[in-house]
Amino acid sequence: MYAIVDFMGYQYKIQRDATLKVPYISKGEIGNEIKLERVLMIHNEENVSIGTPIIETANITAEIVKHGREPKIIVFKKKRRKGYRKTHGHKQDFTEIKIKEFSF
């Protein structure tokens, strides 16, 4: 059994007891539960339910496991023969969640 969910502008394929990295949730504390309400599709062993665009009765509960930062990404810009060189770095924040239960 799995579901396709739209969460914070991204679509994820999720299963029960799976962990998932999502963009940073600023209002969430570790151990809090969140609801994923925009369920686009649910696939059971015997049938498939597809929303138009979402399934209104479906909710998925997840728990916040940890917050963290991705490894640093180096952005380097250069123009040939001009002496222009620019280096920037970026670390993206993330939140790791664990899927607890499906209800539909």
Check residue 2 and give its pLDDT: 93
53-71: pLDDT as tens digits: 999 999 999 999 999 999 9
Dist CA 41 CA 48 (whole Å): 7
104 contacts 55 by C-beta, under 8 angstroms: yes
pTM higher than 0.85: no
